Amino acid sequence: MNQKTFQKITGFKISIKEMINILEKLGFKLKTEKKFFKLSVPSWRPDIVQEIDIVEELVRISGYEKIKIENPIKERSKNTLNPTQKLFHFLQRAVASKGYLEAITWSFSDSKYNDHFKEANKEIKIVNPISSELGVLRNSIFSNLVMYMSKNLDRGIKDLSIFEIGPIFYGSQPGEQNTVICGLSAGKKI
């Protein structure tokens, strides 16, 4: 190890004299060879294996506060979110700010519930459903919201407002879907 390596890793300088002093006090045996230190590690320090371990010891003793903090460059060439994503998050916040709780449900639904909301769209059956109650792709978010509202009412939660924003399907081909937002309220409104 040498002084240049230490400075490159830590970003600050300490003198060779100070390095030697610190390492000797920690029990290392030192020999200098052409701007490099050749070290013998003390037997009670099995944790010292690599050059970086020596750098860590030097920093620990000389003081971590000497390491300069540099903030990353925060330049963006384009927006993080596209307009569709911005609208999605805006709608989530807007409805939640009215006191609605966001429900996140599967894109699958129970055909008994889905039949009430599918309108002219045909039912899209799932070949290998995860459960018998979730056997079709939903044609409306209302089918899932009604199903979960019913479960909450059965559990005694009478005053509830929920909403969901997500995909509904009007065909079985890729892309035959829309993202919609729907909400339901039950109980007393204050």
Question: Total domain count for the chain?
Answer: 2
- Please compute the mean of the pLDDT values over residues 155-160 and round it to a whole number: 90
Q: Does one domain contain both 26 and 118?
A: no
Q: Does one domain contain both 103 and 9?
A: no
> According to the model, what pLDDT value does residue 75 have?
82
User: Which residue among 38, 66, 94 closes a domain?
Assistant: 66
Identify the domain containing residue 156 by its residue range: 83-186
Check whether 108 has a pLDDT greater than 70: yes
For residues 21-47, one letter each, b for 16 or more C-beta atoms within 10 angstroms of the residue's C-beta and e for the rest, the string is ebbeebebeeeeeeeebeeebeeeeee
How much is the mean pLDDT over the chain? 87
Residues 94 and 183 sit within 8 Å (Cβ to Cβ): no
pTM over 0.85: no
Reported confidence tier of residue 171, pLDDT bands at 50, 70, 90: confident
Q: How far apart are CA 149 and CA 162, in angstroms?
A: 8
Structure tokens at 61: 């003793």
- Please compute the mean of the pLDDT values over residues 158-166 and round it to a whole number: 92
Taking the CB of residue 83, how many other CB atoms lie within 10 A of it? 8
pLDDT digits (tens, 9 = 90+) for 25-53: 999 888 888 778 788 888 899 999 888 99
Residue 53's CATH number: 3.30.56.10
Q: Does one domain contain both 11 and 88?
A: no
Q: Does one domain contain both 61 and 128?
A: no
> According to the model, what pLDDT value does residue 40 have?
87
In a domain, 75, yes or no: no
> According to the model, what pLDDT value does residue 161 have?
92
Q: Does one domain contain both 146 and 181?
A: yes
Q: Does one domain contain both 60 and 87?
A: no
> According to the model, what pLDDT value does residue 90 have?
94
In a domain, 138, yes or no: yes
Reported confidence tier of residue 165, pLDDT bands at 50, 70, 90: very high
Task: Give the residue, 79 or 120, on which the prediction is more confident.
Answer: 79
Q: Does one domain contain both 92 and 154?
A: yes
> According to the model, what pLDDT value does residue 190 have?
60
> According to the model, what pLDDT value does residue 115 have?
83
Q: Does one domain contain both 114 and 181?
A: yes
